Amino acid sequence: MNEKLIGGRSCSRAGARSNLLAPDVEGKVLPVTRSIALTSLLSLFFAHGALAQEDTIEDGMYVRVGAGAAFVSDLEQDFVYNPASPPGGAAATGQTVAVSESMTFAAAIGFDYDDGIRTELEYRYANTDIDSVTPIGGPAAGVAAVSDEQLQSHLVMANFYFDFANSSPLTPFIGGGIGGAFVSNERDQSDAALAYQGRAGVSYDAGAGVSVSAEYIYARSRDLVFGPNDDAFAEGDPRPFRLEGANFVSSSVMLSVRKRF
């Protein structure tokens, strides 16, 4: 009987141990199984994202349109008077043209290479209000008061970009460009000069070959000259002076939509 009791107790204890171990074993097995399943799902997700990104990176042409805000720096211009009609007394040596912010618009056609490089030809336009014209060093002969005047700028730029592609729909990029700036005002004064720019932003892949980007653009031209040159003065040009020494400088924030073909 003792043996049976002992045996019974042994069996009972063994059963108890078995029942006690079961929850522990199950408690350990289930988290491991879940971890393996979660890891597998994540691996499939990232693998699919990488493959999708590789599928979208291919050569192709695109068009782009954009709009934003342009912040043009004030123009610091120097007077060069006509030797045939020099001003009398203490004449101004220059002037400051204060301008306000404005809208800017752009259109471009380009080519997207599969190695993350893009090239494009861009046209950008801005029409900026002139707030004031202030002579420096004295009165400026022949300078009329400002009344709702505007400064127009046309930029034609050859641009390049480096896209930092990744498995997400967001792609950071940097770029630059070189070209020409044509700037004019409403006093029949205009000039064209070499210009360059730098830009940086991020684009979002909206699918179907369409992407939306936000970027910052800094553009600067070489000196602009408004008015006749020395040869024109020598040939009898009646205008009293020319303006020189100013660069066209603008900072722009732009939203663009790009469509690949």
Does 52 share its domain with 93?
no
For residue 131, what is the domain's CATH number?
A: 2.40.160.20
Does 64 share its domain with 88?
yes
Count CB neighbours of 47 within 10 A.
11
Phi, psi of 51 (to 5 degrees): -65, -40
186 pLDDT above the threshold of 90? no
The CA distances from residue 167 to 31, 57, 207, in Å, are: 29, 11, 14
User: Which has more confidence, 100 or 26?
Assistant: 100
Does 212 share its domain with 185?
yes
Q: What is the pLDDT of residue 23?
A: 47
Does 156 share its domain with 227?
yes
Does 84 share its domain with 108?
yes
Rounded-to-integer distance, Cα 106 and Cα 175, Å: 16
- Look up the domain containing 114 and give its range: 59-260
Number of domains in the chain: 2
Does 153 share its domain with 233?
yes
Does 49 share its domain with 64?
no
Q: What is the pLDDT of residue 159?
A: 98
Does 111 share its domain with 122?
yes
Does 223 share its domain with 238?
yes
Dump the DSSP string for the chain: -HHHHHHHHHHHHHHHHHHHHHHHHHHHHHHHHHHHHHHHHHHHHHHHHHHHHHHH---EEEEEEEEEEEEEPPEEEEEEE-TTSPPPSS--SEEEEEE--EEEEEEEEEEE-TTSEEEEEEEEEEEEEEEEEEEESS--TT-PPPSS-EEEEEEEEEEEEEE---SSSEEEEEEEEEEEEEEEETTS-EEEEEEEEEEEEEEEEEETTEEEEEEEEEEEEEEEEES--HHHHHTT----EEEEEEEEEEEEEEEEEEEE-
The mean pLDDT of the chain is 82
Rounded-to-integer distance, Cα 217 and Cα 222, Å: 17
Q: What is the pLDDT of residue 123?
A: 98
Does 225 share its domain with 164?
yes
Does 105 share its domain with 35?
no
Rounded-to-integer distance, Cα 210 and Cα 2, Å: 85
User: Which has more confidence, 6 or 196?
Assistant: 196
Does 50 share its domain with 64?
no
User: Which has more confidence, 25 or 40?
Assistant: 40
